[in-house]
Structure 1
Amino acid sequence: MLFVSDNTAPVHPQVWDAMRAADAPDAPYDGDALSQRLDAAFSALFDRECAVVWTSTGTAANCLALATLVPPYGGVVCHDDAHIEQDEAGAPEFYTHGAKLMLAHGPHAKLTPENIAAVVDPIRDDVHRVQPCTIAITQATEQGCTYTPGELATLTAYARAKGFSVHMDGARFANAVAHLGCSAAEAGPAHGIDTLTFGMIKNGAMGAEALILFDPAKAAEAKRRHKRAGQLQSKGRFLAAQLLAMLDGDLWLANARAANAAATAIAGAAVHRLLYPCEANEVFVRCTAEERANLRDQGFVFYDWGPDAARFVAAWNTPAEAAQALAKAIASL
């Protein structure tokens, strides 16, 4: 029973159908009819004009967004538990040609004006210091928590006052929207987010993520960087097909709701063990090495999360029976 990662989930049948339908002659690269539909489709979802660039990985999407926003001599403020710091192997620095990650700390892997100010206010405004110019946040965060619309409004107002741009890593953006019960716009773009990586692979796609630029004027630069980074695939219609299939009938939201429901069932049995609130599809639980071995002996597969904790991730296809079995097993530890 797999709770290692939502990346273990299969491709949703609706996505396979869309890719099969795309298996016909069309223009190469991003000149095909499906790729040409992306801007309008995502603009309708977010109720604002945007430009969309497909990528094959979340790492590429995040780093291309940062490279478009940040000069090589600039700084990116992110949480010290952020994926761009912990799990992207220096790719942000590589794609930006040297921009510095500036690490802030705060509960639930969230940034606030206060913990950002603690990092940026001591920096002298002179040529001897890297100057911050972008804030990077994650929705939902690496600790499975979400920014509310009110928190985002406060954060982006602070960013605008400081002259900072804002990038949102949305690897689990769909799960955040499902938890918040708000529109896709209210979960991020409505508050002045400059760029968003809308994660689809963890949520039912095969190999396509959407890099969304809410200033379409930046699209030309992003596309040049996209090509230079080796991301411009010659048969781009198959990536576009996946993104459009995920939007069709709000499949992205239905899948996220299913994953969140499974995680909520697990978290409900581990209330007194939870490291963080369960606000998406990840559950972080305090348990000893012996207890983790006990769970693995029962057939549950998951990651250790430090010496005294485990992480369980539900996916769009997690059977309710498996989630209930894990909940029962945790409750009986």
Structure 2
Amino acid sequence: MFFASDNSGTVHPQVMQAMAEANTGYHHGYGNDPHTTAARAALRDLFEAPEAEVFLMPGGTASNALALATIVQPYQAVYCSGLAHIHVDECGAPEFYSGGAKLVPVCKDDKITPAALSDALSFWNTGDVHQFDRGALSLTNTTERGNVYTLDEIRALAKQAHDNGLLVHLDGARFANACAHLGCTPAEMTWKAGVDVAVFGGTKNGCMAVEAVIFFDPARAQGLPFRRMRSGHLLSKHRYLAAQMNGYLRDGLWLTLAQSANDRCARLVAGLRAEGIEILTQTPANLIYFQAPRRIHDALQAEGAMYYDMRAAHAGPDDMVRGRLVCDWNLTDADIDCFLQKLKAAL
């Protein structure tokens, strides 16, 4: 009953097999190998972007931070949600690697609206040299609260951003889960909707440690190879990043795993609602935010359920406490049913 994070599960056997296949003989390092060439070609095919520049990274923080540092200047602003991973979970990496670009949260929630972005642009962009200049808009799909931007929402925000001189970055740590929910192609969720640079995540969805940063206009990518090397994120044995990506993409595994996680999440949501538990977000993908009395959380965790709750230190047994459940690709229906049985007993 492990629902703490989709970072915590195992690596899919197909990905491990791909790494084993790459673990023979000698190859040049730093991405000058046939596995990396194949991975870059496969990603271009997947995104229907034959001219795209593709860079593999070992983690999401480096992917976001270096992508943003490449498209904004140190004196510019990156507009994001108040719950964006780049804002609350990356220890200032985007600011650090960009040389000081300012993150501007435009709303308290996980999804930015055109109205909120308009208000932020009006407040921060007066043309006064004492303020930060316009740089980029950063969106996350799937969001940090498990919600999903629709294609229409992405298109509207991207157009608004471009009309105001902003480039658009997409944090796709759970990219596959959003695609699976929307029933769209990666191209439809990115460059066809107006995204300039996207992070295509693998680590949370069956890989060991690999993300891809994709610039749809190659001219926008100038400088990233140097930033990646300078920051220590260009691995010498780069073929093992590429091997993961090749295994992940083979036979559409990336989408199959995401759909499995989303399906388990839907089963869990239905079970929670059947027991009268309040679900706090839309939960279209693989994250659930819910609330229950603290004593229910205590009982579930005493029975071995692993997940995060957001209790205050002074919360009493009957005080409502928010919890987060994350479903990953290798959860089974039996895992979900076991959790629901424990919940029913606790209630």
* Preserved contact between residue 59 and residue 210 of structure 2 (Cα < 8 Å): yes
Corresponding position of 2:14: 14
Mapped pair 1:85 → 2:87: yes
Corresponding position of 2:57: 55
Corresponding position of 2:78: 76
Corresponding position of 2:36: 35
Q: Please give the alpha-carbon distance, in whole angstroms, between the structure 2 residues aligned to 1:118 and 1:269.
A: 40
Q: Which amino acid aligns with 1:112?
A: T
Q: Deviations over 1:196-240 (max 9, x none)?
A: 111101101111111111112233411111101101111101101
Q: Please give the alpha-carbon distance, in whole angstroms, between the structure 2 residues aligned to 1:218 and 1:82.
A: 23
Q: Please give the alpha-carbon distance, in whole angstroms, between the structure 1 residues aligned to 2:248 and 2:272.
A: 32
Judge which range, 300-309 or 251-260, deviates more.
Answer: 300-309
Counterparts of 1:1-333 in structure 2, within 5 Å, are 1-23=1-23, 24-49=25-50, 50-105=52-107, 107=109, 109-123=110-124, 124-271=126-273, 272-307=277-312, 308-330=321-343, 333=347
Deviation at 1:104, TM superposition (A): 1.3
Q: Deviations over 1:246-297 (max 9, x none)?
A: 1111110011011111111111123351110111111111112211001112
Q: Which amino acid aligns with 2:143?
A: T
Q: Please give the alpha-carbon distance, in whole angstroms, between the structure 1 residues aligned to 2:94 and 2:75.
A: 13
Unmatched tracts of structure 1, length 5 or more? none
Q: Which amino acid aligns with 1:44?
A: D
Q: Please give the alpha-carbon distance, in whole angstroms, between the structure 2 residues aligned to 1:57 and 1:137.
A: 18
* Preserved contact between residue 190 and residue 196 of structure 2 (Cα < 8 Å): no
Corresponding position of 2:318: none
Q: Secondary structure of 1:186's partner?
A: helix
Deviation at 1:154, TM superposition (A): 0.8
Q: Please give the alpha-carbon distance, in whole angstroms, between the structure 2 residues aligned to 1:29 and 1:102.
A: 35
Q: Please give the alpha-carbon distance, in whole angstroms, between the structure 1 residues aligned to 2:165 and 2:311.
A: 37
* Preserved contact between residue 177 and residue 184 of structure 1 (Cα < 8 Å): yes
Judge which range, 57-66 or 97-106, deviates more.
Answer: 97-106
Give the root-mean-square deviation of aligned CA atoms. 1.3
The TM-score with structure 2 as length reference comes to 0.93
Q: Please give the alpha-carbon distance, in whole angstroms, between the structure 2 residues aligned to 1:328 and 1:188.
A: 40
Q: Which amino acid aligns with 1:291?
A: I
* Preserved contact between residue 83 and residue 108 of structure 2 (Cα < 8 Å): no
Q: Secondary structure of 1:198's partner?
A: strand
